[in-house]
């Protein structure tokens, strides 16, 4: 979702311009998408999957 076409309810200006504190907060919320657009929950799930994969490979190798 982008803020290009959103209008602020407080100042009636485009949110993308950030005219008032409400605009700036809304714009920041929309643009804060974790690391490069990847959600933190997805990063945690990938790390957990890698941990289990590493443990499974270690177990299969007899270590």
Q: How far apart are CA 4 and CA 43, in angstroms?
A: 28
36-48 pLDDT per residue, tens = 667 778 889 999 9
Model's pTM, two decimal places? 0.46
Q: How confident is the model at residue 6 (pLDDT cuts 50, 70, 90)?
A: confident
Q: Where are the domains of the chain?
A: 1-32, 35-63
The SS3 call for residue 7 is: strand
**CA torsion, points 13, 18, 19, 20, in degrees to nearest 10?**
110
DSSP 39: -
Q: How far apart are CA 19 and CA 22, in angstroms?
A: 8
Residue in this structure with the two tokens 């949110």, named with its chain if needed? 15
Q: Which two tokens stand for residue 36?
A: 């490069």
11-26 pLDDT per residue, tens = 999 888 889 999 888 8
Q: How confident is the model at residue 35 (pLDDT cuts 50, 70, 90)?
A: low
Average pLDDT on 29-37 reads 68
């Amino acid at each position: 979702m982008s803020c290009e076409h959103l209008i602020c309810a407080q100042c009636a200006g485009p949110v993308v311009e950030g005219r008032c504190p409400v605009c700036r907060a809304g714009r920041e919320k929309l643009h804060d998408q974790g690391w490069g657009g990847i959600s933190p929950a997805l990063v945690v799930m990938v790390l957990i999957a890698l941990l289990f994969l590493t443990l499974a490979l270690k177990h299969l190798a007899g270590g």
